[in-house]
Structure formats: structure tokens, C-alpha cells
Amino acid sequence: MVDKPTATTSGEESVLSSERFWFALDRQLIGSGLRLLLLLPAFSFLTAFGALAYAQNSPNWWSKIEPTINLSFAMTLTSLTFVILFGYILAQIVHRHRTHLSIASFQSEVNRLNQEHRAVQSLHGYEGLAHHMNSVRTKHTFSLLYAVVSTMLLIGIFVVNIETLNGRILLLLSFAFTLLSLGQHLPTRSRPFNMDERTGLLSAYNPPIHPSTLEMVFSDLVKTHMDPLLRSEYEVYSKEIESCFLPSIDPQFAREKILMTLYRHSKGLDFKTMESELGEVLNEGGMNLVKNHPVFTMEEWLSIIHHVERSCPAFFRMIGRIEEDLGAGRDTTTNDIVFEVDMENVVHERANLFTLMHNLSDEPRTIVLRVQSPDFRPHDLAMTYRLNPGEKRWWSNKSLPLAAEGDEDVLGLMSGLLRDGTMAWQSLLPERFGEATVSVRLEEQSGDLLIGRQINVRVRSKYRERVRASSTITANLLGGLGLLLGIFIKIRDIFGEI
């Protein structure tokens, strides 16, 4: 009973160490870095076109070289195309093998967490992530298969010679299958993944849902964008860190302040000041846990925060604006309510609208948040919120330092504002490309306007995704047309002979 877990752990480490080697090779030369998976087929297209252009007659200068190598110029280019495609096949094999190792490592990690009674499969987004990884592996398989067929067709040219019609048809079919191979590979580049890095699944993970009202703003935002494996680890980490809070500190306030401090550290807050701020909510054991945790190291936190910031720039721009107001000692728009709203300037696929509301008075208030837009769905959205007074007045009319002892600094007030305030997060779906407007109103229940904002944005598709999608469609379309053209030419030749 003791040997089995040891063997499993050894097997997992072997898969992970193997993936580390192949992922380094893939990242530097094949999928990224030199990008051989794109360069090699591009070069093969040039040599294939050259071979087709000189299939009947070699250039004059080649007559001095041809007796030495005993190959025509077209056959030499065909040989070069074969070498390039052979290298392309090797690159495809390495890339697919690395992907297979990542999926195997993912499944091993899921099984390990299941043995620890942490069912990852029940978390939102697991099915979508697993399906994406398997579909990528399937596309790599078809891409490799098409590349092998393309290379086999080139071998046939050496049998029939490129000067014949059959040789030129084989070259055309080889070119078509290379295009189809490229068409299978291109879509897999949009959401890459790996298991070598702890944050290697973040780019591949697409959050299916998110809370419309964030209770613990930073914590909810971070958990929403974490992939299921990382989120499972984060739940354990949260319990460990919560046991290290100072006795007089509210757990929610402490969590928000830790994440806020880590975010400010990613923006340039020096390490000593960060330790000082964390020391206001954590004991010595908690400080050691933050600095030496095996999963959530400082590097991992910087990667996670950068990923969340890239996904929701409006949220971080909004809190940055509030921090500037707190630091400069500016008054709020109204004396009894803090109201801030922001949305991306350029919208892709969906718009993330963030609204922060906080009651500065001593009495509870019931307000209506209304979002209206002719360019987004839903066109008219109204939500009623009951804003309770905060534990203290989380605002100051005098300028404050970013970090200082106690909570009378920007980090302290911002953490309390996020904890006691109400943060609404709405996803708006655009109906058209171009200029769009969104009106955000804060109203009394009677309908009287308290505060109103209008946001002008531009809706457009992602440039890289648009280019990648267009290239995929073009490659598949031209590849299919090439196959049909080759078959048509051969059929016409057969019937012409008859």
C-alpha cells in the first residue's frame, strides 16, 4: 500500500520533467521563438512554386551545375522542399508530443487532487478547459497527418519526374496538403497552454461565468480568472494564510489588503514597504508563507495579477483613479456616496463594466444602478442595491501617502473601501462594430437621478485573432481548392486520352 503512491508520484515527476525539456525546446524554436512551425511551411511554398515554374525548363545558369548533381533545377527545388517538409514533420512531432505531455500532466494533477478529496471536475470551467486541450491535440494530429501525406506525395515526384503532368499534379497536391496542415495548426496558437509553469493554463482558460456583485473584490476577481487547478490550490492557500492573520484583523479586510499590496508591488512598490504593509495583517508565520509558499511564489503572483489586469483593464484603471483621488485628498462627487465606473476603451467580444458604490453616510440607503445602451445587450439593465454604512469612513479629504504605518494610507483606505463598498461587474455584449455608448445612472428608488456617467468606447475584433482566423480560413480554402484542382486536371487528362 505504500509503494503505489510512491510510484504514482515518481511517474508524475517523470512526466513533468520530460515536459519541461520539450516545452523549453518548443518555446525557443518550434511553437514560439524561432517559430519553425510557421517558417518551414512558408519556405516550402517558395521552393514548391519555384519547382512548378521551372518544371519544363531549367534556367540557363543551371546548365553548368546540373551535370554535377545530375538533377534538374525543378527536381533540386523539389528535393529542397522535401527536406523542409521533413523538418516540418519533425517540428510537428515535437510540438504534438509536448502538448500530449502537458495533457498527461494535467490529468495526473487532476487525479492527485481527487485523491486529496478536491474534486476539480466540479469547478466551473473545467469541462471547457479539458475540451480545449483535447481539441488542440486533435488538431495537431491532423496537422501532422496532412504534413506526412504532403511529404509522401513529394516522394512520388521522384518516381514519375516533375516534367510529366503527373509530377506537377503531385506537387500541386503536396502544396494543398501543406496548406491544410497549416490551417489545422493556426487556430491552436490563440490559447496556448503548458503544465511546466504554474500559470501555464491561464491563457487557455476562458472563465464561463463571473459574479455580478463582488463580495471580496480582489479575491473574487483573482479566483474568477484562475484555471480550475490553480483555483483549487488557492482555496487551500487561503485557509493557510487565514490562520496567520493577526487576532484583531478582520479576515476579509486582511485578504483584500494582501492582494492589494501584491498588486501595488507589481506596479513598483518596493519589497521593504510591501513587507511593512503585510506585517500589519500577518504574523511572522504568515510572512514566511507569503514569501516561501511552494505554489504561490512572488513570481506566480506577478503572473496572475498581470493576467487579470490584461483581462480586466477597466477595473485596475478605476481603482488607480480612486487611489489618485485618495492620495491627492480630493472630495467625492457627492458628500455621502463614492461612485466610480469604468469600462474598456476598446471592446473585444464582450465589455466588462465595473461600478464601485460606497455609502459614506451613517444611514443605510437603497439605490438603483441603471445601465442603458443601444449598442450592447442588455439594452436596459436596472439593479437595486442596499448600501449599508461602512465600518468607518473610508475616505479622506487630505492627501495621504501610498503606504504608512496603520490604515491611514492609500492602501489601507482602498482595502477598506473595497471591503465595505459594493462592486458590480456586468458583461455587456456588443451588437455591432464601431463607436458605441453606455450610460450608467445611479438613481433613487423614485427615479430621481443622483449621479450619471456616459462612456464612449470602440467595438472591434482583436487584430491578431482576426488575422489568425482569416489565415486559417484562407489556408483551408486554398488547400481544398488545390485538391479539387489536382483531381480535376487528372480526370480531364484521363478523359482526354480516351
Query: Looking at residues 1-25, what average pLDDT do you find?
Result: 66
Cis upstream peptide for 378 (omega within 30°): yes
Question: From CA 314, how far away is CA 455, in angstroms rounded?
Answer: 12
Give a yes or no: residue 326 inside a domain: yes
Q: Are strands 434-444 and 422-430 parallel, antiparallel or unpaired?
A: unpaired
Cβ–Cβ < 8 Å for 230, 442: no
Give the pairing type, strands 449-459 and 346-347: parallel
Residue 54 lies in a domain: yes
Q: pLDDT value at position 7?
A: 39
Residues 143 and 277 occupy one common structural domain: no
Question: Does residue 13 lie within any of the structural domains?
Answer: yes
Same domain (yes/no): 454, 488: no
Alpha-carbon separation of residue 178 from 88, 183, 198, 338, 437 (angstroms): 10, 9, 35, 59, 45
226 by Cβ neighbours in 10 Å (0-12 / 13-18 / 19+) ranks as: buried
Residues 48 and 192 in one domain: yes
User: Comparing C-alpha atoms, which of 383, 358, 356 is closest to residue 443?
Assistant: 383
The three cell numbers of residue 339 are 461612485
What is the pLDDT confidence band of residue 10, given thresholds at 50, 70 and 90?
A: low
Domain membership of residue 316 (yes or no) is yes
pLDDT at 8 over 80: no
Residues 229 and 367 in one domain: no
Q: Are residues 183 and 243 in the same domain?
A: no
Residue 337 included in any domain: yes
Report residue 128 as a C-alpha cell: 471547457
* 351 and 475 together in one domain: no
How many residues in the chain? 498
Residues 289 and 343 grouped into a single domain: no
Q: What gap in Å lies between CA 328 and CA 334, rounded to an integer?
A: 17
pLDDT score for 6: 39
**Residue 456, domain CATH:** 2.60.40.10
> Do 147 and 235 lie in a common domain?
no
Domain extent, residue 248, equals 199-207+217-306
Total structural domains within the chain? 3
Instruction: Record the pTM.
Output: 0.88
Asked whether the predicted pLDDT for residue 446 surpasses 50, the reply is: yes
Please indicate, yes or no, if residue 136 is contained in any of the structural domains. Answer: yes
Q: Are residues 230 and 276 in the same domain?
A: yes
Sheet strand arrangement including 434-444? 346-347, 449-459, 434-444, 365-372, 380-387
Q: Which of 247, 280, 306 is the last residue of a domain?
A: 306
Residue 190 and residue 227 share a domain: no
212 within domain boundaries = no
b/e sequence 199-215, b meaning 16+ C-beta within 10 Å:
bbbbebbeeeebeeebe
Q: Which three cell numbers stand for residue 440?
A: 450608467
Could you read off the pLDDT of 175-206 as tens digits, one per residue?
Answer: 999 999 999 999 999 999 999 999 999 999 99
> Does residue 379 belong to any structural domain of this protein?
yes
Point out the domain boundary residue: 288, 306, 324. Answer: 306
Does the structure show a pLDDT above 90 at 362? Answer: no
Those residues with Cβ within 8 angstroms of residue 361's Cβ, 6 or more apart along the chain or in another chain = 336, 337, 389
Express each pLDDT in 105-162 by its tens digit. 999 999 999 898 888 988 889 999 999 999 999 999 999 999 999 999 999 999 999 9
Q: Answer yes or no: do 71 and 159 share one domain.
A: yes
Name the phi and psi angles at 362, rounded to 5.
Answer: -95, -5
